[in-house]
Amino acid sequence: MEEIFLLKLGELVLKGLNRHTFEDKLIANAQRRLRPWGRFRVYSKQSILYVEPLDENCNLDGAWEAMKRLFGVVGLSRALACPKDKDAMVEAACSYLGGKLSTARTFKVESKRADKSFPLTSIQLSQYVGGELDERYPHLQVDVHHPELTVYLEVRENAAYVHANPDPGAGGLPVGVNGRAVSLLSGGIDSPVASWMMAKRGLALDMVHFFSYPYTSEEAKEKVLTLAKLLTPWCGRLIVHVVPFTAIQEELRRKCPEELFTILMRRFMMRIAERVALRIKAGAIITGESLGQVASQTMDAMKLTGAACSLPVLRPVVGMDKEEIVTIARKINTFETSILPYEDCCTVFTPRHPRLHPLPGEVEAAEALLDIDALVDAAVEGIERIKIDP
């Protein structure tokens, strides 16, 4: 028979009457991710998502890598389908896992009988197949506690499946099942990680990037687009809303106290991000703020920046230190791009002594000198929207 992928569902199995909504979204996401790699059938039965190639032209390796980044899946296996017969399962194990069986020193067989009409119990099937493999591979020793190789047998509705140790999946919830949000994407380490973390919780994302040409270069903008591209294997297709931010920063420099510049700039970012969110019917704003990491990320500063908008502000890395964030950035392959030495708008006109704890009313007094609505309207009107495909 044929090779197939078995994807184990995570939190979805706990969703009760809403479970079909989560599974439908996961299947749709899987089908989109598989499209570049050939024709596949994707369906769900007994808490397993099956990914079945429909012709010999399918690129199984490419499809496998795509499925490893599919949020909503906690484990996945490449398996060989075979008839629901104990001897057929022995032959399938030898043909499909022969290389692993030849090089391993210890093994065990673990069976799952989801089809209760199968005549052997799970223990009986494991004992039979394990005994046959023990005879065919004399060098192997049985170790039921810490085996080097576990041979998995799954007897399910349509067929039996043979596979070895599963790979970990991406976890989380299917992208889009919890709605949409806009994520502030800079060129740094934190914001791509924050975006990834919220996509993992089922949010579909649009990205908002603030671009201050000529103070920031085209290379800096391309760096951000590359970061968005690196997120698409996890998040799916993204739209990056590139906001012209130069006029706002120059107006702040002309009219406002230098020590409040960073907080005032962040408040404009939140207002513009909210306008983008309302336009695309998103329900939240995501930032990469980490408490105490920089001057704009004190509790007082975050309170003031969050107050500039009415939508919820999600800060998934707020309690993480830099090393924890870097570990995730390396895992999702954004770290090396994030550390490229191109400036971003947050480094433009950086105050020498930023105010960490603004006094009551002084931010509002500074903003009274500005035509906030006109500045925000002009920035929103000038947004460039760039579609990033996986």
Q: Look at the alpha carbons of 187, 26, 173, 114 in this order and tell me if their dihedral is positive or negative.
A: negative
209 is in an annotated binding site: yes
- Distance, CA of 80 to CA of 163 (rounded, Å): 7
Q: Which of 177, 185, 176, 192 is nearest to 209 (CA)?
A: 185
- Distance, CA of 225 to CA of 209 (rounded, Å): 9
288 is in an annotated binding site: yes
Q: Look at the alpha carbons of 85, 86, 91, 93 in this order and tell me if their dihedral is positive or negative.
A: positive
Q: Amino acid identity, residue 52?
A: E
Phi-psi region of 33 (alpha: psi -120 to 50; beta: other; left: phi over 0): alpha
210 is in an annotated binding site: yes
Tokens of residue 19, six digits: 């479970």
- Distance, CA of 270 to CA of 272 (rounded, Å): 5
CA angle 370, 372, 378 (to 5 degrees): 120
- Distance, CA of 113 to CA of 217 (rounded, Å): 60
Bridge-based pairing state of the strands 160-163 and 73-82:
antiparallel
Contacts for 44 with CB less than 8 Å, ≥ 6 apart: 9, 23, 26, 27, 50
Q: Look at the alpha carbons of 172, 173, 176, 179 in this order and tell me if their dihedral is positive or negative.
A: negative
Give per-residue burial for 361-372: e unless 16+ CB within 10 Å, then b: eebeebbeebeb
The 3-state DSSP class for residue 21 equals helix
Say how far residue 379 (Cα) sits from the centre of its chain.
Answer: 29
- Which positions make up the binding site? 184-185, 209-210, 266, 288, 297
Binding residues for ATP: 184-185, 209-210, 266, 288, 297
